Structure 1
Amino acid sequence: MSAVALRLPLKPDRALVRKWVEKLGREKITAVIVSHSHFDHTADAPYFAIEAGAPLIGTESTVNVGRGAGLEESKLIAVKPGQTMTFGDFTVRFIESVHGPAVLGRVPFPGTIDKPLVPPAAARKYRLGGVFALLIAHPTGTILHHGSAGFKPDMYDGISVDVLLQGISGRGDTDQYLENVALKTRAKLVVPIHMDNFFKPIKDGMSFLPMVKFDEFCRKAEQHRSIFTMRTIPFCKEVRILPLNAAIVPGDAVR
């Protein structure tokens, strides 16, 4: 966090990225998809793509982060809102979204990245660049990755999902957020994400981001237990979320 606060350049840890790609299994990584271009989403993403030999997919800003990292043009894919891509049995639809009011009611680092961003670079250089929610369809069910805690009131009209991965850091009113995302999509299983403190090393274990108000989110979600189940997932562990009758491996916390 001190590097961000002091506006110091952020240097991706290539060795650590390589370790995680090996742990995940290179052969399992078909694409690296980024929802928006803030540093906590994109700083390492190009190196995951490089190590996996996979394309980096996102906004034009995300693509410029990839260019700055040295990714080949053939591995850079810029997408537009509403676009759909297919990866084997998976179909991914890119839905235009908005960032939550993360810092004193304001979105940090607004704007776009209009030229290749070469690391190391300060956090403020990783401009927002637009936000996507990812609607992922598979024969076993549908997953919605809503990573940023903002929303457009009509963005999920006519959409229903089995599993919702709902980012909860930097959100505004929790009731409105649940109403416009979890309830609007009629999700059966809600998994809160983007709540861990990414300013600390993974080796230190799970801790919450400051001001994430996890307990408050749980209390509000509990009011809708007749509509959806909420579960958390083990920190840095592989889990299964579809089909629903086999979702989440043992050891998860059920709320």
Structure 2
Amino acid sequence: MTTPTSPTRGLSRRALMTSAGTAALGVLGGVAGTRALAADAAPASETRPAAAPSGFASFSWLGTSGWKIRTPATTVLLDPYVTRFDTGLAAGRFAATARLRVDAAALDRALGRAGSADGVVDSILVTHTHWDHFADVPHLARTRGAMVFTTLTGYHLALAMGVPQGQLAVVRGGEEMRLGDLVVRVVPSLHSRTATGALLFPGVRTQRPARPRTIADLPEGDTLSYLLRSPQGRSVLLLGGSDYDDQALRGLRVDTVALPVPSTDVTAGYAERLLTVLDQPEQIVLVHWDDFETPLANPPRTSDATRTRMRDLTEQIRRLSPRTRVVEPEYGTPLDLL
């Protein structure tokens, strides 16, 4: 989890979470626009296809690392955290005991009403089980009948939160799956760390626990990423935390990366290693930077400190890979990535 902050507060919420243990939430909204933070991409190298995105899939950012992906045959969600609730951050009193809750009306507004054609969800991909990635997943699975692909920890947590066993699939990395007309590769990944090198809410669940009630009841539980491919061969890598496993990414051909903005400098060579191992992808979409405890509205809100981090990351990418375009999404605005 990266940790966004509110521009209206004197205390940096990122700084607060870094000292408390770093966490973040993202959310969804509804109106328009994306902004390119870097120059347009230079011509692609000979090692990459010249074909542009074909409009095969629509990617709509749900805040944090969340996405709604629609193709002609399927609708897939990644880390669909839409409910916002107070964890004490705004008051400078982050509480691991903050109670979990679900805002069903917000989910219907963001994803389409349950039972409607627009609200159909076929599959949900989970990168890890911190609350800002997982808390809405059990409700969505129960109300929309979606299949949930998650870690062993996510499997046991979802069971404890009322998801039928038949809607749960455990993945660990290396799987190649067809979900409708998408091919999805599960990629082992890593979670970001606090300024001290610690991990917020570490742990795994190897058996069904008591029903989770607080945010601390949803541990990280290992982290995955997902590579989505279109029939035309284009690919998008969706990361859920601001770290990754270089070896797991090696050899993958990736056109676009959804890249979380880190909230600390603990992860060494964050941009450089990624650009090297992925051979300078055409496009990077910045995610996991928005404030998660303010009303949903475009443009997404964040703190001045986070904006500085976003600018610094963009400048690093431009310097290291001038051909790579960097995009800042807005809530609910379709992007043509495949």
TM-score by length of 2: 0.65
Structure 1 residue 225, shift from structure 2 partner: 4.5
* Residues 102 and 169 in structure 1, CA contact (< 8 A), matched pair in contact too: no
* Residues 84 and 92 in structure 1, CA contact (< 8 A), matched pair in contact too: yes
Per-residue CA shift, 1:129-165, capped at 9, x if unaligned? 1100111111231111122111223221111211111
* Residues 151 and 171 in structure 2, CA contact (< 8 A), matched pair in contact too: yes
Q: Does 1:64 align with 2:169?
A: no
For residues 53 and 197 of structure 1, do their structure 2 counterparts lie closer, same or farther at Cα, with a shift above 3 Å needed? same
Which residue in 1 is equivalent to 2:252? 159
How far apart, CA to CA, are the structure 2 residues paired with 1:81 and 1:216? 31
For residues 174 and 148 of structure 1, do their structure 2 counterparts lie closer, same or farther at Cα, with a shift above 3 Å needed? same
Which residue in 1 is equivalent to 2:13? none
Per-residue CA shift, 1:181-235, capped at 9, x if unaligned? 2332121111111111223332485112685421211221221342311111122
Partner secondary structure for residue 249 of structure 2? coil
Partner secondary structure for residue 230 of structure 1? strand
How far apart, CA to CA, are the structure 2 residues paired with 1:30 and 1:181? 31
Partner secondary structure for residue 10 of structure 1? coil
How far apart, CA to CA, are the structure 2 residues paired with 1:99 and 1:170? 12
More helix by share: 1
Which residue in 1 is equivalent to 2:176? 84
How far apart, CA to CA, are the structure 2 residues paired with 1:60 and 1:209? 35
Which residue in 1 is equivalent to 2:319? 223
Which residue in 2 is equivalent to 1:102? 194
Which residue in 2 is equivalent to 1:235? 331
For residues 78 and 106 of structure 1, do their structure 2 counterparts lie closer, same or farther at Cα, with a shift above 3 Å needed? same
How far apart, CA to CA, are the structure 1 residues paired with 2:304 and 2:221? 24
Which residue in 2 is equivalent to 1:251? none
Aligned Cα root-mean-square deviation (Å): 2.4
For residues 174 and 62 of structure 1, do their structure 2 counterparts lie closer, same or farther at Cα, with a shift above 3 Å needed? closer
Partner secondary structure for residue 223 of structure 1? helix
How far apart, CA to CA, are the structure 2 residues paired with 1:174 and 1:229? 22
Which residue in 1 is equivalent to 2:277? 184
Q: Does 1:53 align with 2:145?
A: yes
Per-residue CA shift, 1:76-134, capped at 9, x if unaligned? 11112212221122111111111111354321011013424525x22111111110011
How far apart, CA to CA, are the structure 1 residues paired with 2:267 and 2:226? 21
TM-score by length of 1: 0.84
Partner secondary structure for residue 154 of structure 1? helix
Q: Does 1:5 align with 2:94?
A: yes
The one-letter code sitting in structure 1 at the alignment partner of 2:238 is: H
Structure showing greater relative contact order (alpha-carbon pairs closer than 8 Å, 6 or more residues apart): 2
Q: Tell me, which stretches of 5 or more residues in structure 1 are unaligned?
A: 243-255
What is the number of equivalent residue pairs in this alignment?
240
For residues 40 and 233 of structure 1, do their structure 2 counterparts lie closer, same or farther at Cα, with a shift above 3 Å needed? same
How far apart, CA to CA, are the structure 2 residues paired with 1:51 and 1:204? 28
Within the candidate set 2, 16, 19, 2:106 is matched to 16
The one-letter code sitting in structure 2 at the alignment partner of 1:5 is: F
Q: Tell me, which stretches of 5 or more residues in structure 2 are unaligned?
A: 1-86
For residues 34 and 50 of structure 1, do their structure 2 counterparts lie closer, same or farther at Cα, with a shift above 3 Å needed? same
